[in-house]
Amino acid sequence: MPKSTFSSRSTFQGMLPWLILAIIIILADQFTKTLIVGYYKLGDSTPVTSFFNIVRAHNTGAAFSFLAGAGGWQRWFFTGIGAVATIFILWMLRSHHAQKLFAFALACILGGAIGNVIDRLLHGYVVDFLDFYYGTWHFPAFNVADSAITIGACCLILDEILRVRRGGK
């Protein structure tokens, strides 16, 4: 078998666990959003604890509703960013699939990014439903995809700190 074929198969097999993780995140994200869209109207809220509600919120912007009121063009802008990020992350996973923490972080970000892009394409907005608060202060509502992106970003930071402590390799 030619070396390039073996290398491609080996690379795909190395990427496979991370791609499966990303798919699990996408499925969990879309499943939970489907439940929210099916059972809640926009603005509905169910108290769960003294600091947490399940809500139905729509975000036409990005994190913390950045550009939410921009007039509609942001839907395609953020969809494009998600598509470019997906391609870049797949390229990075191809090269770094053996670096477990780094690849885990990339897979989380990939699954979250695709989950939110699916929402933008289907609805024109991202469905958010996790609402944490204290008194009258509310953290902006978010979803499973946002959680995965945040976990991935934290793991990227941790991976970089650990890499620097090991001497930069």
Q: Which of 29, 119, 131, 146 is catalytic?
A: 146
What are the structure tokens assigned to 158, written together?
């941790």
CA distance 79 to 94: 23
Residue 146 annotated among the catalytic residues of the structure: yes
Residue 131 annotated among the catalytic residues of the structure: no
Q: Which of 119, 128, 131, 159 is catalytic?
A: 128
Active site residues per annotation? 128, 146
